Amino acid sequence: MTLKFALLGAGRIGKVHARAIAGNPDAELAFVADPVADAARAIAEQYSCRVSTIDEIAADPTVDAVIICTPTNTHADLIEMFARAGKAIFCEKPVDLDVARAESCLKVVRDTGAKLMLGFQRRYDPHFAAVKKAISDGRIGEVEMIQIVSRDPGAPPMDYIKTSGGIFRDMTIHDFDMARFLLGEEPATVYATGSVLTDKTIEGVDYDSASVTLTTASGKHCTISNSRRATYGYDQRVEVHGSKGAVSVENQRPVTIELAAGDGFTRPPLHDFFMTRYVEAYAAEIAAFVSVLKDGASPSPSGEDGLRALKLADAALRSAKQGVVVVL
Amino acid sequence: MTLKFALLGAGRIGKVHARAIAGNPDAELAFVADPVADAARAIAEQYSCRVSTIDEIAADPTVDAVIICTPTNTHADLIEMFARAGKAIFCEKPVDLDVARAESCLKVVRDTGAKLMLGFQRRYDPHFAAVKKAISDGRIGEVEMIQIVSRDPGAPPMDYIKTSGGIFRDMTIHDFDMARFLLGEEPATVYATGSVLTDKTIEGVDYDSASVTLTTASGKHCTISNSRRATYGYDQRVEVHGSKGAVSVENQRPVTIELAAGDGFTRPPLHDFFMTRYVEAYAAEIAAFVSVLKDGASPSPSGEDGLRALKLADAALRSAKQGVVVVL
Amino acid sequence: MTLKFALLGAGRIGKVHARAIAGNPDAELAFVADPVADAARAIAEQYSCRVSTIDEIAADPTVDAVIICTPTNTHADLIEMFARAGKAIFCEKPVDLDVARAESCLKVVRDTGAKLMLGFQRRYDPHFAAVKKAISDGRIGEVEMIQIVSRDPGAPPMDYIKTSGGIFRDMTIHDFDMARFLLGEEPATVYATGSVLTDKTIEGVDYDSASVTLTTASGKHCTISNSRRATYGYDQRVEVHGSKGAVSVENQRPVTIELAAGDGFTRPPLHDFFMTRYVEAYAAEIAAFVSVLKDGASPSPSGEDGLRALKLADAALRSAKQGVVVVL
Amino acid sequence: MTLKFALLGAGRIGKVHARAIAGNPDAELAFVADPVADAARAIAEQYSCRVSTIDEIAADPTVDAVIICTPTNTHADLIEMFARAGKAIFCEKPVDLDVARAESCLKVVRDTGAKLMLGFQRRYDPHFAAVKKAISDGRIGEVEMIQIVSRDPGAPPMDYIKTSGGIFRDMTIHDFDMARFLLGEEPATVYATGSVLTDKTIEGVDYDSASVTLTTASGKHCTISNSRRATYGYDQRVEVHGSKGAVSVENQRPVTIELAAGDGFTRPPLHDFFMTRYVEAYAAEIAAFVSVLKDGASPSPSGEDGLRALKLADAALRSAKQGVVVVL
């Protein structure tokens, strides 16, 4: 039986998910809704689905699941609405930028028994997933120290930054999820420091460069290094050091040739965009969500995972602002 | 306007092309034909196209192009048939294992003015294409010496080998096409040597290990190293050395992590199959064929390219059998 | 004119410097002193120099310079003694484990005008030096964020640990020097956390795993990751991220072959010892010291550099013990 | 007991061996002879040895071994002279450019029972030696196919080329020795092709670009690719493909940093000179020769190894000139 999906939000990330659904043999994109009529229509035409509204979708008994790709400030309301409507929900991160609101929303999810999966796609990237598997398989022994480097090719526009919740809630939050995913233990302390190095116009609004250290009760460490600028492309690395060895992810580039000349040996820059870097991850993420519906798998990351990452982001912001170590 | 495609042959490579056509915004898979009814039906269902017959497809004026993925010994007849029917033709290599038959077929193509493109997908792999572009852009100066290494993870079954035309016409032919593509000059001499090293049961039937050297009139060299066995995966490399530098393609692996432990630093094996290795190439190849139809681009590789690669394969076989250098 | 050197301390590192002096065309090893007579004699025989005593060496007007490789708790006294004797001094780090004692010693150095160079050999490693040069040459623009990873193959014996001053003063101090060398700006805050993960017997005595974050007044960050265990060898990396790009050092291995097989592509482990890893650095360090004497070059690292690194180590220890961010 | 060495020839390679002898704990450089008095004196001063003559050295009963670094056309005579004088002999390759002369010389060596080792230093490079060891340890199973790439940064001067015996006897001969060393079986056929691509002024005198294929009786292949020009440095690679896997040597560069910027990720060029590339090999080669004298180890490569490599060079030249496959 093919599962019927509705897509809420036909923007950039909505298109990515539409393609993933269309390419999944167990799923069918039945509806798309977006206040921007042209955007909805474009997706409807490309994937032969119907333009609809949020209310109609919630009321339609044939709809199995919704993919929420709307603006962040609508996520919690939509999650509650579709949880009550009995639909399975995949929502782009975060549930909400406010911890209290996220918690009240997740209470509704629990009370309704709805299935909710959050969009930290990096867990489904084949390379990061292989790191996780190497750890689970005992290849590096006990995890001890993790280094995460995550750098964007360039900063988003000021308008985006102002509503993003800041670098820790917008960008580092992916690294917090990855840290929890790989540490296998909750962080107990957070130290963070932030600077404005790449674009002075955001001074006072946000940081563009951040370093974070997490520690756990058993003494594991995780450091995260973020920058909103990397001239060489989208830098996404993780390295896990354990008692028996270490495992790391190499950066990805669209073309892997090497040119040798008098000035040395040069390989091309990395992907310049998260959507091309994580194209396999987005497809695998939807496949995992389909598996939640079909096979009863637990959603990973869950709403709770999203909440915990958000709390780490809040702690990091407090640490950076006040120059203190935050004990959780 | 969307181009209407018919797929002839619903086997392994047929499925690959069906997916590429379905994913191309300018193309539509309208028909599929295969003597194995189940195979045709499976593709028809997955891509919402109709099962048909070769004769109906040839007679249907709405069909713009055919993709020929049938057994090698039917290629020449089908090319002629669809050339006469006024269809554009994409045909898996080779036109025919026999040079004379390939030549007579290509005469029909010329006489009818049909558009024919051959399936040497490697030209469209983004990495090999980037090597070609680096050369065209003058990054390595004048091409001087090329090394091609091409090794399969394992040998095909004996049944396949017996009808394959032998390693030079079946496997090395891709390398001959790549050599011509990158040399920018026709080979003038061929030296080849073949051995049976990986599977003694093919002794007398075929070689499983081969080395070839091509030279051109201006003194360029190209060496090719083939093996039907590579324990570490599907080995596909090329390196071009020129007057100003060199450019090479790195091998591709599905997962790029690195594990460090007491026995060293280990990266996973390569792709183990040409279809996963060249997934991007197959899509790009069909896109190029679409562009031939829509924009009037010249087919590359053309039928003539296929013929020249075949002639090199024949020369290599003669060189290996007789222990002589063949002057073309 | 060849410079006459005396070596104080004929242990492990003393031998390294003896070889470096012997191989330097402008230097001659004239004397060696060590309370262990056999150790001194072995060096004297190998390099055709004379066994002597510290007092004789200080009194000998033909001695131009001394190399101090004695136990740490003798460094400050010996530096003062030879500064007063008018000799140039190369001393293994640190001047002293106590900041006040180091400061009083450096006052004597200043007052006597003695030339003092400290043994942070990593500055002279060709690879780290090339990173520094890339920065100085403006290749990466303004330095923004530095990651240093420094891991020993295994922990030193408990006896060593007890007198070492702890991981920050013994091991991280090299990274603090490298951080200052590359940041081009003094650290303003220090955050450090330490754990006992590899050897529970040192619990309460020292840490074996440490993470440190330094920030500067202008907002640059440097993170340091240390472990006393790395199964894959002596891990020594640095990566500097700047406004125009990034530059990093690759790890070094004695043999650079790659083995490809069914389980992947494996390169051998790294060097397993700092002395083989830094063999070129030790020779270059002595050459630089010779250049201080011959050409009047400024000693780098100076005694002041050693003191600053020590103060960072003290701050790190306080941060780790008290769970606070230390503002310098 | 320390072995007494005499160095014949104080040129470029003579200096390299003088340093290796001086650094070897079991050897002592006692004498140096060279018709250029200044060259001999320079070495005598640096290593505290005596300037002497060839006749005196041959007559001196205290001399254990000679290192012959004189011009090629003197090698055979000197080998015979010192074989008759009862000295152990290390001679730079080749014994002679003429096979018949080399054979008559080696007859004298056999008849006198002299120990003769030839200077193919590449066997002693730690990286190539590790490849050999991986094969001997059975890591790649049965050797099947070898690729050797050997490219010089630039061509030698015309004067050198004219007396060098041509690219096959001068440059490829090292690759022939490496091929034999790794194949574990004598070549049975030789195919070679040569071109003038980098410097038209040597047309008719020599080739500057060459490709060679060797096969053995059991069907193993080895291809060699040579060029007198490589803009990116001294290119020295070998890759051995076997039934269980493959092993390869990475190229060596003096500095292993990586710079990342908008145009990609760049590592510095390779060594630009064989003497810096093979510095460890030259020391290990002399150590092996010392071991021949002290421990009775068999010389490797022997005079016979040198002769066989020379015969392959002669066969390659004939193949290239006549366009035929030479059966040995």
Asked if residue C136 and residue C63 are part of one domain, the reply reads no
Residue B238 within any structural domain of the chain: yes
Contacts (Cβ under 8 Å, ≥6 apart) of B278: B121, B122, B125
d(CA C95, CA C304) in angstroms, rounded, equals 10
Taking the CA of residue B22 and the nearest CA in chain D, the distance in Å comes to 34
Q: B-chain residues within 8 Å CB-CB of D232? A: 245-246
CA distance D270 to chain A (A): 8
User: Does the pLDDT at position D46 exceed 90?
Assistant: no
- B245 in A contact zone (CB under 8 Å): yes
D327 lies within 8 A of chain A by CB: no
Residue D249 to residue C260, Cβ atoms within 8 A: no
Residue B286 within a domain: no
pLDDT given for residue C81 in this prediction: 98
Q: Which residues of B touch C262 (CB under 8 A)?
A: 231-232, 269
Task: Report the pLDDT value the prediction gives residue A268, as an integer from 0 to 100.
Answer: 98
Report residue A54's pLDDT band, with 50, 70 and 90 as the boundaries. very high
Provide the chain B residues 269-308 that lie in CB contact (below 8 A) with chain C: 269
pLDDT at D23 over 90: no
C273-325, pLDDT tens digit by residue?
A: 998 999 999 999 999 999 999 998 899 999 999 999 999 999 999 999 999 99
Contact B147 D149 (CB under 8 A): yes
Nearest residue to D272 via CA among D229, D314, D313: D229
Per-residue pLDDT at B25: 86
Same domain, A137 and A186: yes
Domain-located, residue B172: yes
Residue D44 tokens read as: 């005598």
CA distance D218 to chain A (A): 36
Q: From the list D142, D227, D246, which residue is nearest B145 (CB)?
A: D227
Q: Which of A86, A114, A142 is the last residue of a domain?
A: A114
D83 has pLDDT over 90: yes
Each residue of D90-131: pLDDT tens digit? 999 999 999 999 999 999 999 999 999 999 999 999 999 999
| pLDDT for the residue A23 | 84
Which A residues in the span 252-271 are in contact with D, Cβ-Cβ below 8 Å?
Answer: 260-269
pLDDT band at C22 (very low <50, low <70, confident <90, very high): confident
User: Which residues in chain C have Cβ-Cβ distances shorter than 8 Å to A244?
Assistant: 231
Alpha-carbon distances of B193 from A231, B158, B296, C310, rounded to whole Å:
48, 21, 41, 67
Number of H helices, E strands in chain D: 12, 15
pLDDT in tens, B166-188: 999 999 999 999 999 999 999 99
List residues bridging with A302 in a β-sheet. Answer: A117
Chain A contacts of C325, Cβ < 8 Å? 191, 323-325
Q: What is the mean pLDDT of residues B41-66?
A: 95
On the CB side of B146, how many CA atoms lie within 13 Å of its CA?
33
- Contact D261/C139, CB-based, under 8 Å? yes
Query: Which segment of A212-221, A306-315, C22-31 scores lowest on mean pLDDT?
Result: C22-31
D178 and D219 belong to one structural domain: yes
Confidence (pLDDT) at A313: 98
**Average pLDDT for chain B:** 96
Chain C nearest-CA distance from D250, in A, is 6
Instruction: Residue C268: list chain D partners with CB under 8 A.
Output: 130
Mean pLDDT to the nearest integer, D268-294: 95
Residue C1 has pLDDT above 80, yes or no: no
Could you give the CA distance from residue D313 to residue D168 in angstroms, rounded to a whole number? Answer: 5
CB contacts < 8 A (B, C) = 45
Under 8 Å between Cβ of A293 and A5: no
Among A114, A135, A156, the domain-final residue is: A114
Average pLDDT of span A109-130: 97
One domain, residues A316 and A168: yes
Q: Judge whether D159 is closer than 8 Å to chain C, CB to CB.
A: no
| pLDDT tens string C137-149 | 999 999 999 999 9
Answer whether C260's CB lies under 8 Å from D250's CB.
no
Among the partner-chain residues D232, D261, D268, the one whose CB lies closest to the CB of A231 is D261
**Residue D119 included in any domain:** no
- Average pLDDT, integer, range A297-308: 96
- Is the same domain home to C155 and C224? yes
- Does residue B299 lie within any of the structural domains? no
**C137 interface with D at CB cutoff 8 Å:** no
**A24 part of a folded domain:** yes
Query: Pick from C211, C225, C231: which is nearest to A244 by CB?
Result: C231
Measured distance CA(B140)–CA(B120) in Å, rounded = 24
For A288: left if phi > 0, alpha if psi spans -120 to 50, otherwise beta; the answer is alpha
Residues of D in contact with B238 (CB under 8 A): none
Cβ under 8 Å to D: B residues 184-243 = 189, 191, 193, 195-198, 209, 211, 213, 215, 219-221, 223, 225, 227, 229-232, 241, 243
10 Å Cβ neighbour count for C196? 17
CATH number for position D215: 3.30.360.10
Residue A58 tokens, joined: 């919630």
**Helices C99-112 and C303-322: angle between axes, nearest 10 degrees:** 170
The CATH number for B97's domain is 3.40.50.720
Question: DSSP states of A204-240 as a string?
Answer: TT--SEEEEEEEETT--EEEEEEES--TT--EEEEEE
Nearest to B261 by CA among A75, A247, D271: A247
Q: Are strands A27-33 and A3-8 parallel, antiparallel or unpaired?
A: parallel
Q: Cα(D275)–Cα(D17) distance, rounded to whole angstroms?
A: 11
CA angle C146, C149, C153 (to 5 degrees): 170
CB contact under 8 A, B231 and C268: no
The overall longest dimension of chain B from CA atoms, in Å, is 67
Cross-strand partners of B8: B33, B68
Nearest-CA residue of chain D relative to B141?
D231
Whole-number Cα distances in Å, B269 to B48, B229, B254, B263: 37, 14, 8, 16
Tell whether C57 is covered by a domain.
yes
ipTM here: 0.96
CB neighbour list of residue B21: distance below 8 Å, 6 or more residues apart: B5, B7, B27, B28, B29, B47, B67, B286
Statement to judge: residues D91 and D64 lie in one domain: yes
Same domain? For A158 and A30 the reply is no
Domain count, chain A: 2
Q: Does residue C94 have a cis peptide bond before it, meaning omega lies within 30 degrees of 0? A: yes
Residues D108, D79 share a domain: yes
C-beta atoms of B197 and D191 within 8 A? no
**Which residues of chain D have a CB within 8 Å of the CB of C262?**
245
Same domain, A148 and A84: no
Examine the fold and report which residue of C46, C80, C114 is the final residue of a domain before the chain moves on. Answer: C114
Residue A241 counted as domain residue: yes
- Which residues in chain D touch residue A154, judged by CB atoms under 8 angstroms apart? none
Which residues of A are less than 8 Å from B25 in CB distance? Answer: 46
Residue count of chain C, please give it: 328
Question: Is C325–A327 a contact, with Cβ atoms under 8 angstroms apart?
Answer: no
Q: Which domain holds residue D149?
A: 125-280+309-327
Flag the least confident range among A44-48, A204-208, B93-97, C232-236.
A44-48
Question: Is residue A1's pLDDT more than 80?
Answer: no
Q: Which residues in chain D have Cβ-Cβ distances shorter than 8 Å to B221?
A: 193, 195, 209, 211, 225
One domain, residues D231 and D251? yes
The amino acid that residue C88 corresponds to is A
Chains sharing 3 or more CB pairs under 8 A with chain D: A, B, C
| D102 Cα to chain B: minimum distance (Å) | 30
Distance from CA of A4 to the nearest CA of B (A): 17
Residues of B in contact with C261 (CB under 8 A): 231-232
* Cβ atoms of C209 and C228 closer than 8 Å: yes
For residues D7 and D14, give the distance between their C-alpha atoms in angstroms, rounded to a whole number.
Answer: 7
> Which chains pack against B, by 3+ Cβ pairs within 8 A?
A, C, D
Region C50-68: mean pLDDT is 98
Are A91 and A164 found together in one domain?
no
Are the C-beta atoms of A235 and A251 separated by less than 8 Å? yes
* B271 confidence band (pLDDT: 50, 70, 90): very high
Residues D164 and D269 in one domain: yes
